[in-house]
Structure 1
């Protein structure tokens, strides 16, 4: 054992000074280490005066990192000193071994540092499982408390800052993440995405020179008021994404051009006029009951019974008997929920029929289209109409036309990167619709500005796109660019972008899922800012 003791002492306490190992006992599962401090004088934590007068001593048992699969138990004898300064409120104090213990600490500093790293990387439950594998069992609450007790990161003033939003609760609560674009590290998290909050944060850091952001109005307003000296740069990916959305709307507006024109028939085909059948076919239970009641009522009335007498005999109301007596045939009584009553959907049925013939068989998509035209009701009416009526109609003969999203993807893709089949289909679509051709020219011109950083051509492109009256979505996109012209030109000219910020937004999503149910803002902020 005497030969092994120097190696164990070097392994366990190589980074700790002023500690004397008195004995080491090794068993199959535990390594017990008895040690004491060798410092002669210790500074009082209250007044800072050093004292060497020992009042007493006692044993502390801090948990330490396991060694070669064995639990390490440290029996550390610490001394209580007497403070000789009369003005100090403390009479006695206990020494702390620097780098090894802290006041009220139950773990050594290196075990605490390890658990903090596990908590930052894996949070509560997953971190507790990993710590148990390491041989240092700990609860998830302890890991979260260790992370929450970490000090705030040092404040830095970046030269280039990236700003974007992240969702604390998607669709309800949003915050703001700020990233140093040069070092690619997050700087701060803000609890909301208000312009005033961002402006106040930027105003405290006058050294910021460039702000990378998307075109959200609250970020533009906050950056303008908080850092007027900084150059604002609109992110190129968001510009291209917005252009893609406008292009898809333009293609969808001209979706009639996507289906090839049908060939003229050789001879006109005669169609038979559909015969109008009774809304209540023979054998329908409700219809048969109505016919029987109608015959009985008219038979009793013909026999000389009064209407009140007929109502008493049949157990029916007088108003019902009056309605049956006024109807000359049972078919006149066939009204109600089973009939084609006037509904709010009737005005949109011709459009739905045409769109069904065009190849759009998605009831939800059809409902979204007529809702934009003023349809006030929900999706269920359109779904029932499509299921009961439209699905029974024959589909047009010929290949299925490409969807608006597919054509938009072809237009937004580099022509040389398209497959040969897609190139042929796009060529056919452009040849059939001059508006599509104009859209493709504008998209490819914008793509050259994005890839070659030719932001000086943007005013000319905006002027050209605004004149496209047949492409209103593209025209509106150009008008929106003009509202934030300086930032967009800078984004299409400089190499700065918000790509690193988007990466941290995805990282925040992962951290939120790890801490589901415990991801308060303060804890989330610590993990985002302090995790490696």
Structure 2
């Protein structure tokens, strides 16, 4: 039974004097250990004696315990809201079932309220896209870079929507963005006086993608160099010579071939990249890749995506032993030999390769060369972070292909410009890349020339204007924790493949 003083009318705030009736409320409270706690509270309903008030009666609320229309205590509601902020709907619902609390995902999501959007844009505004559903629906996240919090979320990534937001919320002096043309167009239309700054993280991401594409295009050079090194070593057991095998008709190979045919058929009909992407439910960069890459290269890349498995390091030995014994060797003996050399798989795994060797349909053992992604990670990382073996393997890659060597030199020079804020040397880098760089690197240089002012600002402006971040209010880290804004975000030194990252401001 509540024994507090008579409450005040929620409309006119006049203190009540007369009790209308009483009734019992049941409130769920935070659990005590593994036991559920239920509070049965008898509350009073009062008359409102003010004549002009529209409310005739009202129910008293116990501060810190009850609230209108709530069947849970205010403490439990705070728990629900905090966990829903951090985990979302379904994950938070699963956690609450483990805690033996009744809270479905829809109830948890109803507790979340969007923060109020300020009338004016922050002084330093970060803008980037993110995926509601990757490959289908995208939105735009706007970040106050100095405060480190999300300002607003837009339903799409079009220039019209962003331009309308900038018009309704003036005040942005610096806008940090990636090199998306839609955001550039919106800034020039709605905020022409704002300083555009290219995000350093996205610049390094674009550069690493060009380096990886260069490595993909020159895998034949790496393989030829590795095979020549293998031949000069003169192994004791000659490797098995097999005719080149055709690519297997696997699902990924067939899907790649059909997708290539569909895209080029639509290109012949003069369809645009965006129209093809919508028709085939693909991303535009995937359509461009199929447009600009040879079919044989796409099929080889798809074929090499297969996992190597535990047997792959021992295939060359199996082929050599099979050739030496002229096929007169048992699978059990070969299994024991490779097991003594470190094989940790089962005996069943080697049956299929041995059957292919006896039938003469086995694929030739390819030379062990690093993947393009791994080479890119060695190039994009600072040299002092590489181990001796990684540095040695990168040196072999550079000796094998002059184009990869040139891409490596340009990438490391550009990374040095980014890390030491030497934007005044950017134009010279662009000229060198346009002269003798591989085609993907020339593409990056061309894009940088088109956005030269913003990129130069991103590589020149200092960090001193960043204000001290204010402490977050309780529960505020909810919206900001899912996005990683900030002026001092560390650029990627390994290969970046994260989608939907927030702008790092690049200042």
Same fold per superposition (TM over 0.5): yes
- Is the counterpart of residue 155 in structure 1 residue 133 in structure 2? no
Map 1:89-488; keep pairs closer than 5 Å: 89-131=54-96, 134=99, 137-141=101-105, 144-156=106-118, 157-258=121-222, 259-260=224-225, 372=292, 400=368, 404-431=372-399, 433-468=401-436, 471-488=438-455
Change (3 A) 1:244 1:114: closer
- CA–CA separation in structure 2 for the residues paired with 1:185 and 1:436: 40
What TM-score do you get using the length of structure 1 for normalisation? 0.57
Contact residue 213 and residue 233 of structure 1 kept, 8 A? yes
State which of 55, 61, 83 in structure 1 corresponds to 2:48: 83
Change (3 A) 1:87 1:457: same
Contact residue 164 and residue 502 of structure 1 kept, 8 A? no
Highest RCO, 1 vs 2 (Cα 8 Å, sep ≥ 6): 2
Larger Rg: 1
- CA–CA separation in structure 1 for the residues paired with 2:28 and 2:147: 37
CA deviations 1:471-510 (Å, max 9, x no partner) are: 222112101011111221122223669xx99973589xxx
Aligned to 1:61: 26
What TM-score do you get using the length of structure 2 for normalisation? 0.60
Change (3 A) 1:70 1:173: closer
- CA–CA separation in structure 2 for the residues paired with 1:373 and 1:62: 64
Change (3 A) 1:120 1:214: same
Aligned to 2:461: 494
3-state secondary structure, aligned to 1:101 = coil
- CA–CA separation in structure 1 for the residues paired with 2:149 and 2:72: 30
- CA–CA separation in structure 2 for the residues paired with 1:83 and 1:68: 42
Aligned to 1:504: 482
- CA–CA separation in structure 2 for the residues paired with 1:439 and 1:231: 31
Q: Which moved more, 1:485-494 or 1:153-162?
A: 153-162
- CA–CA separation in structure 1 for the residues paired with 2:82 and 2:55: 35
Aligned length: 366
Q: Which moved more, 1:412-421 or 1:243-252?
A: 412-421
CA deviations 1:30-68 (Å, max 9, x no partner) are: xxxxx224324x432344444323333333333333456
3-state secondary structure, aligned to 1:51 = coil
Aligned to 1:337: none
- CA–CA separation in structure 2 for the residues paired with 1:437 and 1:354: 31
Change (3 A) 1:365 1:125: closer
3-state secondary structure, aligned to 2:28 = coil
Change (3 A) 1:366 1:193: closer
Change (3 A) 1:462 1:57: same
3-state secondary structure, aligned to 2:52 = coil
- CA–CA separation in structure 2 for the residues paired with 1:466 and 1:199: 33
Change (3 A) 1:262 1:210: same
Contact residue 37 and residue 77 of structure 1 kept, 8 A? no
- CA–CA separation in structure 1 for the residues paired with 2:405 and 2:90: 56
* Alpha-carbon offset, residue 392 of structure 1: 5.6
- CA–CA separation in structure 1 for the residues paired with 2:405 and 2:480: 33
- CA–CA separation in structure 2 for the residues paired with 1:198 and 1:418: 42
